[in-house]
Chains A and B, each alone.
Chain A
């Protein structure tokens, strides 16, 4: 589970043995400069809007960048995810069985990446969830959700039988410019279907690129993914917002033969595994007790930190089922 060569500065401390790994996990979750409560306000906030013009390098209201991410991928939490519960993954953790993840969408981690996206995702998840075996199965899903792809996804899920589906969604429908409502309805229905079989879902919305920043249709597709994630209460990785944030601060770094948008795109692909992992890890800390996501992260984690509970139990508030 330790892959030192791929480790970013934020997670350097993670090694193979149990205790340092656990400490690293806790450090990773608590290490935000603004204190352990930092991510908490984010989860209570409604899905952030993305239609406003791009912000400059500084984050709004001085929100700190998430330091658990590698420097080039650092984004404030509110730009990166909305959280929700992941019951099936929690159940797998509790039963100490391997967590099966179906990663749907592009396999690419950008040109010249150290590993493909599924490999990176598996590595990053195993690093964040010490002593948990994570198995990532990746599938490309061709076609549009609004037409045949939703059906194919069902076959895929039936084939892989995962605990969690991480779904990069919206790109193909946006490229085909399918009707917005047809897209949203089909996505909603498919997410509901996955959840009805006690399988968790994490949605990943489409990429940001400057030439589409003013494209109303494209922004609406991104919005629809957010709406469905909020309605169905599934975690969302806001790739669009994260990349738009990164686009404001990558000027100084190296250039790209094909121009800035292509460099940003490569960066987005490189960071995706980390960003998805962050959203999953934090979502696992959502309490089971109440219906809505609340400012619970810091508080609920602290007792566990004091007790020093060992093992892969990521949810520090034990529950009865």
Chain B
């Protein structure tokens, strides 16, 4: 078990935020930082994933591990994430169907994209296994599977030249924005909710910056100097989102995705806002950590076990949504869901670590 650190702390915070934001309409939603900016917890989660890959594919003294081992490591992680997605989808569909049966209410079957599965299971089960059919709120892991799948290309390239990896990644990002490339959904029309061709840039950025950060203190110096700019960007983000100011996608010039605030394509505004958030908050962990030990302990335990916590969190969120619908919601229910959810996330993290302690020599 690694010690508490900033990466796990922020990742833990992102996980709690995602859990709350995935129960739309609940009271606590308005207290998450996603409501006060252009980007949200998804950006943080993917960026930190890239940063962690940088740490994971090196030995303790900072030298890169053998290329083949890194590739196999990423492959094995890809399979773990894929397995988590399939499991979570099965549980989610069963929760939806079970609730519809229990309440004798077929409306629930129409829950965010689930209707397709219940009306046409033959095509849709193929789509689920291929990751081309995603339920609403269950679309981050498919992104993650693709990102980890293509990560070896960038990581091996970055060992030759960080700049080349970043250039390739940025090139793919910009081309996808301009040409509106995305992976297709099937069955049904449309595309992926999180476009991997664009979101890969955040992963690569996380990876490259981690590498640069470790090799020299130039990045640290500059990011400290640029903190005021980051704070400025965060303030602008607060104003824009509170006043609900955003460009009209039918009025902006072509290529329009460059100018809109689009989540699917990670439009530049979201990316810039996210980098501003990183600059503004880079020093906050060091300031907070000595003062809020319990919170740090809790959030870092979530961050250390992010896949399990994220997977269970999405199931808990769905259960929370269904409970809110069934009971009619209200502050009391929201408090119960929030408290139970935080406990369940913490328990998941503790349980995963307990299990790995029990079986130190895993086959």
Instruction: Please give, as numbers and ranges, the residues of chain B lying within 8 Å of A146 by CB-CB distance.
Output: 24-25
Q: How far is the CB of B324 from chain A (nearest CB, A)?
A: 6
Instruction: Please give, as numbers and ranges, the residues of chain A lying within 8 Å of B24 by CB-CB distance.
Output: 143-144, 146-147, 176, 178
Q: How far is the CB of B139 from chain A (nearest CB, A)?
A: 8
A207–B107 CB distance below 8 A: yes
Nearest B residue to A168 via CB reads B110
Nearest A residue to B35 via CB reads A147
Instruction: Please give, as numbers and ranges, the residues of chain A lying within 8 Å of B249 by CB-CB distance.
Output: 154-155, 157-158
A211–B325 CB distance below 8 A: no
| Contact digits for B248-281, partner A, Cβ 8 Å, 1 yes 0 no | 1110000010001111100000000000000000
A108 contacts the other chain (CB 8 A): yes
| Contact digits for A205-231, partner B, Cβ 8 Å, 1 yes 0 no | 011011110000100000000000000
B328 contacts the other chain (CB 8 A): yes
A174 to B109, CA, bound (A): 13
A258 contacts the other chain (CB 8 A): yes
Q: How far is the CB of B308 from chain A (nearest CB, A)?
A: 24
B189–A138 CB distance below 8 A: yes
| Contact digits for A87-110, partner B, Cβ 8 Å, 1 yes 0 no | 000000000000000000011111
Nearest B residue to A144 via CB reads B24
A188 to B311, CA, bound (A): 36
Instruction: Please give, as numbers and ranges, the residues of chain B lying within 8 Å of A176 by CB-CB distance.
Output: 23-25, 321, 324-325
- With contacts A142-B137, A155-B249 taken as known, whether A110 is within 8 angstroms of B264 at the C-beta atoms is no
B104–A177 CB distance below 8 A: no
Give the number of residues in A that approach B within 8 Å (Cβ atoms). Answer: 51
**Residue of B119, B187, B188, B321 touching A175 (CB-CB under 8 A):** B321
Q: How far is the CB of B6 from chain A (nearest CB, A)?
A: 29
Instruction: Please give, as numbers and ranges, the residues of chain A lying within 8 Å of B23 by CB-CB distance.
Output: 176
Q: How far is the CB of B282 from chain A (nearest CB, A)?
A: 28
B111 contacts the other chain (CB 8 A): yes
B87 contacts the other chain (CB 8 A): no
**Residue of A140, A259, A269 touching B104 (CB-CB under 8 A):** A259
A114 to B180, CA, bound (A): 32
- Beta-carbon contacts under 8 Å, A102-147 to B: 106-111, 113, 116, 118, 137-140, 142-144, 146-147
A68 contacts the other chain (CB 8 A): no
B321–A261 CB distance below 8 A: no
Instruction: Please give, as numbers and ranges, the residues of chain A lying within 8 Å of B231 by CB-CB distance.
Output: none
B232 contacts the other chain (CB 8 A): no
| Contact digits for A157-188, partner B, Cβ 8 Å, 1 yes 0 no | 11100000000000111111111000000000
B115–A177 CB distance below 8 A: no
B interface, over-half SS? loop
**Residue of A138, A147, A175, A262 touching B111 (CB-CB under 8 A):** A175
- With contacts A179-B25, A209-B107, A212-B105 taken as known, whether A142 is within 8 angstroms of B193 at the C-beta atoms is yes
A179 to B334, CA, bound (A): 14
A171–B118 CB distance below 8 A: no
Instruction: Please give, as numbers and ranges, the residues of chain B lying within 8 Å of A174 by CB-CB distance.
Output: 107, 325
Instruction: Please give, as numbers and ranges, the residues of chain B lying within 8 Å of A261 by CB-CB distance.
Output: 104-106
A317 contacts the other chain (CB 8 A): no
Nearest A residue to B180 via CB reads A159
A106–B324 CB distance below 8 A: no
B159 contacts the other chain (CB 8 A): no
| Contact digits for B48-63, partner A, Cβ 8 Å, 1 yes 0 no | 0000000000000000
B106–A265 CB distance below 8 A: yes
Instruction: Please give, as numbers and ranges, the residues of chain B lying within 8 Å of A209 by CB-CB distance.
Output: 105-107
B104–A265 CB distance below 8 A: no
Give the number of residues in B that approach A within 8 Å (Cβ atoms). Answer: 46
Q: How far is the CB of A232 from chain B (nearest CB, A)?
A: 17
B105–A211 CB distance below 8 A: yes
B110–A142 CB distance below 8 A: no
A262–B112 CB distance below 8 A: no
**Residue of B101, B108, B119, B193 touching A111 (CB-CB under 8 A):** B119
**Residue of A110, A118, A147, A207 touching B189 (CB-CB under 8 A):** A118
- With contacts A207-B107, A261-B106 taken as known, whether A137 is within 8 angstroms of B113 at the C-beta atoms is no
Instruction: Please give, as numbers and ranges, the residues of chain B lying within 8 Å of A155 by CB-CB distance.
Output: 249, 260, 262, 264
Nearest A residue to B322 via CB reads A175
A210–B104 CB distance below 8 A: yes
A131 to B262, CA, bound (A): 37
B116 contacts the other chain (CB 8 A): yes
- With contacts A206-B107, A210-B104, A211-B105 taken as known, whether A140 is within 8 angstroms of B113 at the C-beta atoms is yes
Q: How far is the CB of A156 from chain B (nearest CB, A)?
A: 8
A148 to B112, CA, bound (A): 13
B331 contacts the other chain (CB 8 A): no
Output the residue of A113, A155, A157 with the most chain B CB within 10 A.
Answer: A155
Instruction: Please give, as numbers and ranges, the residues of chain A lying within 8 Å of B113 by CB-CB distance.
Output: 140, 142
A177–B188 CB distance below 8 A: no
**Residue of B119, B185, B248, B328 touching A110 (CB-CB under 8 A):** B119
Nearest A residue to B188 via CB reads A107
B228 contacts the other chain (CB 8 A): no
B120–A142 CB distance below 8 A: no
B108–A154 CB distance below 8 A: no
A109 to B120, CA, bound (A): 9
Instruction: Please give, as numbers and ranges, the residues of chain A lying within 8 Å of B193 by CB-CB distance.
Output: 142
B83 contacts the other chain (CB 8 A): no
A212 to B261, CA, bound (A): 37
A107–B116 CB distance below 8 A: yes
Nearest A residue to B330 via CB reads A177
Instruction: Please give, as numbers and ranges, the residues of chain B lying within 8 Å of A108 by CB-CB distance.
Output: 110, 115-116, 118-120
List of 8 A-B pairs having minimum Cβ-Cβ separation, nearest first: A142-B136, A265-B106, A158-B249, A108-B119, A176-B25, A178-B25, A108-B115, A176-B24
**Known contacts A142-B113, A155-B260; 19 further A-B pairs (Cβ under 8 A):** A106-B110, A107-B115, A108-B115, A140-B188, A143-B136, A148-B263, A151-B261, A157-B250, A173-B25, A174-B325, A175-B108, A176-B23, A177-B324, A197-B250, A206-B107, A207-B106, A207-B110, A261-B105, A262-B106
Query: Can you give 10 A-B contacts (C-beta < 8 A)?
Result: A108-B119, A140-B116, A143-B136, A147-B29, A158-B249, A172-B112, A177-B25, A211-B103, A212-B105, A258-B101
